[in-house]
Amino acid sequence: MSHNTYSCIIVDDNEIDRLTTLAHARKYPLLTIEGVFSSATEALPVLQKQPVDVLLLDIDMPDLSGLELRASLMQVPICIFITAYPDYAAESFAVDAFDYLVKPIRAERFSHTMARVQSFFDLTRKARLFDLSLGADTVFIRDGHQQIKLNLYEVVYLEGLKDYTRIVTTTQQYTVLSSIGKLLQEVSFQSFLRVHRSYAVQPHYIDKVVSQQVYVQGFMLPIGRSYRAVLEGIYSHLQANRLS
């Protein structure tokens, strides 16, 4: 079962309905409620700056309807309309509605929708994971009970956790039963650069080296004293190649 969470906002101009939707949504750990708004005009500027994964929208609202709000936010993967008016169903699916719930919300119906939301994101994640580039180096890892095919070029860094190693990619994290030292001995991981007793990075993801830290893809990792000279040499070489 996936343990990922997905950001969500709720928009409804009716306070009772808004609170009812919030109460239902809070029962599902897969949703992280990022905001609750009483109008689409209030929500729109916020969402334009910081998009979310899931929209729970009323339709019939003054000034800007839920349909119009959705039309402005088509990049949000899931939009669920919650309305008292079943007549809007056809219009809602024209703006790529994921589901259409008629008030009052029934717990069983909401649960069914949440199960579909979870399945959607699980499938999307798997599709992204297995969407391999031609010729890309890949490796199979075991994360818990799952065997996962991983694109090595997406791995940003490794973190040693005693007998385990956390593999951090550009989109996900996995934990494998292997020490970082043992993992780095494998042919697949020999391109990684050890920067600390507990960390190794992909050289091409290094953004900068400052004082006792190395920055990779927005992550700040410590540098071990015995690894500094090699790291600085590699970083200088990378900088020269980037400028040429």
Which two three-digit tokens encode residue 64?
């800007």
Q: Please write the tens of the pLDDT for every residue from 35-77.
A: 999 999 999 999 999 989 999 999 999 999 999 999 999 999 9
pLDDT (tens, 9 = 90+) of the chain, 244 residues, equals 345 799 999 999 999 999 999 999 999 999 999 999 999 999 999 999 998 999 999 999 999 999 999 999 999 999 999 999 989 988 998 999 999 999 999 999 999 999 999 888 876 665 444 333 333 477 888 776 677 888 888 899 999 998 899 999 988 898 888 899 988 888 778 888 999 999 999 888 898 888 889 999 989 999 998 888 888 878 777 776 666 5
Question: Same domain for 166 and 206?
Answer: yes
Which structural domain, as residue segments, surrounds residue 206?
Answer: 138-243
Strands 173-176 and 193-196: unpaired
Question: Same domain for 19 and 118?
Answer: yes
How far CA 64 is from CA of 49, 53, 72, 91, in Å, comes to 18, 21, 11, 15
Question: Same domain for 92 and 167?
Answer: no
Please report the pLDDT score of residue 150 as a whole number. 85
Please report the pLDDT score of residue 144 as a whole number. 67
Residue type, 183: L
Beta bridge partners of 169: 155
Q: Please write the tens of the pLDDT for every residue from 183-205.
A: 888 877 888 899 999 999 988 88
Question: Same domain for 104 and 166?
Answer: no
Please report the pLDDT score of residue 225 as a whole number. 86
Query: Is there a domain that residue 133 lies in?
Result: no
Please report the pLDDT score of residue 3 as a whole number. 56
Question: Same domain for 119 and 30?
Answer: yes
Question: Same domain for 10 and 79?
Answer: yes
Strand order across the beta sheet in which 54-57 lies: 31-37, 6-11, 54-57, 78-83, 99-102
Question: Same domain for 117 and 97?
Answer: yes
Please report the pLDDT score of residue 131 as a whole number. 37
Given 66, 94, 126, which residue is the final one in a domain? 126
pTM over 0.85: no
CATH of the domain at 109: 3.40.50.2300
Please report the pLDDT score of residue 236 as a whole number. 76
How far CA 116 is from CA of 30, 139, 155, 174, 195, in Å, comes to 12, 30, 29, 24, 42
Please report the pLDDT score of residue 142 as a whole number. 76
Please report the pLDDT score of residue 124 as a whole number. 67
- Whether 79 contacts 95, CB under 8 Å: yes
Residue owning tokens 């042919």: 187
CATH of the domain at 227: 2.40.50.1020
CA angle 2–100–64, rounded 5-degree value: 110
